[in-house]
Chain A
Amino acid sequence: MQKKLSSPENTARTERGLFHTDSPAAKIALLGLLTALAIVMGYVEYRIPLPLPVPGIKIGLCNIVIVFVLYRFGVLRALLVSLIRVAVVGLLFGTPISMLYAAGGAVFSLFCMYLLKKTGRFSVIGTSGAGGALHSLGQILVAALLMGGTGIFRYLPILLFAGECCGILIGLVVTIVLRRLKPRRNESVI
């Protein structure tokens, strides 16, 4: 251990920090850590329900992690983290039905954010804001399918707007996080 650390290669790696590593073990550890963070954020939100007369409004704190992973590690890893999070949070605090809503919203919004990011025209804030709104849309579509009715679409405008506002907040946070954890020159990330 002592020997390894003293070699110039490894000193460079430790200076880079965990977020910009090439080692596969560190990648796995890092993504596991981020998944755990997303789950904890889901739990924090579950403990603090917003006393609003409309169901389904949440800040979506865990999306800070998802958007961060999308921008730093790509869409496939974001999808993985997102699905594991939905499954674990659903098993711990939810019902199979609430899990379906969550998965519908998460996958739909992640896919759309990926497309928006790919166009290269939008910043993190724009992508995340639209992603928040589309998260609501995804959930409502799943709900409409499950309930077999269009009555739920009445909530769409409110949920779209709330989702957009929360998404913008999350985009701001992720912008700051990405800037703080910026790789230095000639560095590759996972």
Chain B
Amino acid sequence: MTRSSVPEEKESKSRRKSTFRRADLWLLLGIGLFSVLLFGFFLWKDTRIREPMLEITQDGQVLGVFPLTEDRDILIGSRESGNYNLCRIEGGKVRIVEADCPDRSCTRSLAIDRRGGTIICLPHRLVLRIKDGTGGIPDAVAE
């Protein structure tokens, strides 16, 4: 493995390798711009929601669709067997109030409301998102 001798060494003799180059600037600006544009795209998409509904998905399967106008608690999974998340709709805002996942980042997530957004629990493969309910999707009940 002597082949993988340090390239810096050879290069530093011939031409000084600068710490930050123009190509870096373009690369990093490009990625930054891409993420800003993508963020803008999602914001724009959220403004088009007319009738906001909460969609709960676990393992890629839709468990239920709920209106934001009605306050209620939705228990996903069961407390006895573990792997549960307790989701609360209150005053048009949705958040996860209780969960037994290891990282609990879902309970720290910002509440989502009619302006759109997503709450994710990676360990339980759970996705809560606000979608436009004008398509006439029936209100499934997960209780």
Contact = CB atoms under 8 A, between A and B. Distances in A.
A binds B: yes
A8 interface: no
Interface residues of B, number: 44
Contact-size category for A:
35 or more
A72 B103 CA distance: 35
B49 interface: no
Given A95-B102, A123-B17, A183-B9, A129 B31 contact: yes
A188 B102 CA distance: 46
B103 A126 contact: no
What's the dominant secondary structure at chain A's contact region? Answer: helix
Contacts of A124: 19
A97 B123 contact: yes
A17 to B, nearest CB: 14
Contacts of A190: 1, 4
Given A151-B127, A151-B129, A125 B24 contact: yes
27 contacts: A22-B2, A49-B103, A55-B103, A55-B105, A55-B109, A94-B102, A123-B20, A126-B20, A126-B21, A129-B27, A133-B35, A143-B122, A146-B125, A147-B127, A148-B60, A149-B127, A151-B118, A154-B129, A155-B120, A156-B35, A157-B38, A157-B39, A161-B32, A182-B8, A183-B6, A188-B2, A189-B5
The 7 lowest CB-CB distance pairs between A and B, nearest first, are A148-B60, A126-B24, A55-B105, A157-B39, A151-B127, A160-B35, A157-B38
